[in-house]
Amino acid sequence: MASERERNPRGHGARLRDELVEAADALLETVRGEEELSMRAVARQAGVAPQSVYLHFADKRALMTAVYALRFRDLLEVLGDATRGLADPRERLLAFAGAYAQYAEQHPGHYRVLFGTAGTTDWEPTQMVGLEAFTILRDAVAECRDDAVESATACLWAGLHGIVTLRRDRPSFPWPPLDGLLSTLVADHTRAPSAHA
Amino acid sequence: MASERERNPRGHGARLRDELVEAADALLETVRGEEELSMRAVARQAGVAPQSVYLHFADKRALMTAVYALRFRDLLEVLGDATRGLADPRERLLAFAGAYAQYAEQHPGHYRVLFGTAGTTDWEPTQMVGLEAFTILRDAVAECRDDAVESATACLWAGLHGIVTLRRDRPSFPWPPLDGLLSTLVADHTRAPSAHA
DNA sequence: TGTACATCAGTGAACGCGCGTTCACTGATGTAC
DNA sequence: TGTACATCAGTGAACGCGCGTTCACTGATGTAC
């Protein structure tokens, strides 16, 4: 394991930093929560000694923050790409919801780190980034209704979060198909006319 | 600590079982997740030696299952009490939502165990109980709308879950007041006429 | 009434484990003179 | 061109910790005769 890795050339020690973030990122997918991810496992995955992690990160929290920032930017990009250029607000919201759910499904470990961990006052570095994504939602909702826009937007996000986490954690519940869930979620919170009537 | 406890009288050894469940139940509130709760901590809290837990529970999972069952029945009772006798379906849903959110807020640790942990195929003992609570929701939703009842009900539950977990884990987000969130959630998914128009 | 025995509610001591973190060290590479 | 020195990218070895779990044991209480 460790013997396979050869040390970085002089002047490029910072490469290990990226390797460590990448290792932690990969391991997060194999694990149920941030707490289960150990510094020693990250070091093993990267092929270095446990202490070497401390060459680049002061402690575990610092490493996790680096992963967190990386993944949040990633998700934001996905959501931006999915919604950009869609003129119809409901179409935009459906695209957002679909991309959000797909991301959560494809990266359950990362999603858990992004939204499933307890945020503390001293550790919510991506608050502003999150608000940026929230703005996409609110603008679209505001185009569809006049009353309770803030609440409806928060419900939309909470609904998305609830759907992806409960589907993941309570798989034995008789879930309706995801497509129907998302379209009902969007239609209801944008007060779209009922498809039935 | 341990010296303060005196052993149960002969024939009443089963009392320790309840004390252990109670201890685990109490400790779950002080902890971020089920994994953080240790058998040794439970034993300490109950005032007995670590091994004594094994007199009543085969392993950690068995202990957690006991707490889980206890708390699920508790929540079900709360939800039943809150909604019983309310004739108007939207009123019933609002009462359900309020009781649900209040329970989650007052017992964050228990709520996390009930809905925040990964359920595995071999460990979802309360599936049926959960469906019972879900039925309260679906019946009320069905009284309000004809289309997409199953999806709307699932969205309602997911929305509730998302609201209580995100409010807890992302407190720095600019949340609208809870009352408005819940009434928007219920109104939208029951397709109530807009309060605005 | 006395005593051997069984049962019961636990405990003493230990196991091996992986963890986060620290301290002193190494050995290759570049640089100044 | 040679060599002393500084820098850099790491490692060796160890620390103390709490964990889940197991095994053999204890000491009080009841029961049979």
* Beta strands, E only, chain A: none
Cα distance between residue B87 and residue B140, in whole Å: 9
Nearest protein residue to nucleotide D28 (CA to C1' distance) is B10
Chain B residues 34-63 within 7 Å (CB) of strand C:
47-52, 55
- Is pLDDT of A193 > 50? yes
Instruction: Evaluate if residue A121 carries a pLDDT over 50.
Output: no
What is the CA B59 to C1' C6 distance in angstroms? Answer: 28
Token look-up 């150990």 returns A38
167-196 of A, contacting B, C-beta below 8 A:
168-176, 180-181, 183-185, 188-189, 191, 194-196
Going by pLDDT thresholds of 50, 70 and 90, the confidence category of residue A2 is very low
| Nucleic strand C under 7 Å from the C-beta of A41 | yes
SS (H, E, C) B35-48: HHCCHHHHHHHHCC
Residue type, B52: S
Q: Which helix H or strand E contains B53, and what residues bound it?
A: none
Alpha-carbon span A185 to B159, nearest angstrom: 9
Q: What separation in angstroms does the CA of B45 have from each of A189, B22, B139?
A: 46, 9, 43
Token readout for B59 is 């392993």
- From CA B176, how far away is CA B179, in angstroms rounded? 8
Spatial distance between the Cα atoms of A43 and A34, rounded to a whole number of angstroms:
15
Round to a whole number and report the distance in Å from the CA of A46 to the C1' of C16: 26
Q: Any chain B CB within 8 A of the CB of A38? A: no
Average pLDDT, chain B: 91
Confidence of residue A129 (pLDDT cuts 50, 70, 90): low
pLDDT in tens, B168-179: 988 889 999 999
Distance from the Cα of B29 to chain A's closest Cα (Å) equals 14
- Residues of B within 8 A of A121 (CB-CB) are 171-172
Residues 28-47 of B with CB under 7 A from strand D: 37-41
pLDDT of residue A32: 83
Give the confidence band of B2 by pLDDT, cuts at 50, 70, 90. Answer: very low
As a whole number of angstroms, the distance between CA A138 and CA B133 comes to 31
Predicted local confidence at residue B132, as pLDDT: 85
Give A59-103 as a 3 state SS string.
CHHHHHHHHHHHHHHHHHHHHHHHHCCCCCHHHHHHHHHHHHHHH
Q: Hey, how many other C-beta atoms are within 10 angstroms of the C-beta on B156?
A: 28
Query: What is the rounded CA–CA span in Å between residue A80 and residue A77?
Result: 5
Q: Say if residue A11's pLDDT is above 80.
A: yes
Q: Is the CB of B30 under 7 A from strand C?
A: no
Alpha-carbon gap, residue B78 to B106, rounded angstroms: 12
With left for phi above 0 and alpha for psi between -120 and 50, is residue B193 left, alpha or beta?
Answer: beta
Mean pLDDT lowest for which of A181-195, B118-132, B169-183? B118-132
Residues 131-150 of A with CB under 8 A from B: 131, 134, 145-148, 150
**What confidence score (pLDDT) does residue B127 get?**
60
What whole-number distance in Å separates Cα of residue B78 and Cα of residue B81?
5
Tens-place pLDDT, residues A22-76: 999 999 999 888 889 999 999 999 999 999 999 999 999 999 999 988 999 999 9
Q: Is the pLDDT of residue B121 over 70?
A: no
Angle between helix axes B15-28 and B60-83 (nearest 10 degrees) is: 70
What pLDDT, on a 0 to 100 scale, did the predictor assign at position B131? 84
pLDDT tens digit sequence for A40-54: 999 999 999 999 999
A185 vs A164: CA distance, rounded Å: 13
A168, A184, A186, best to mutate vs chain B, most B CBs in 10 Å: A184
pLDDT, tens digit (0-9, with 9 covering 90-100), for B76-97: 999 999 999 999 999 999 999 9
**How far is Cα of residue B113 from the mean position of the Cα atoms in its chain?**
7
Exposure string (b/e) for A138-162, b if CB count within 10 Å is 16 or more?
bebbeebbeebbbbbbbbbbbbbbb
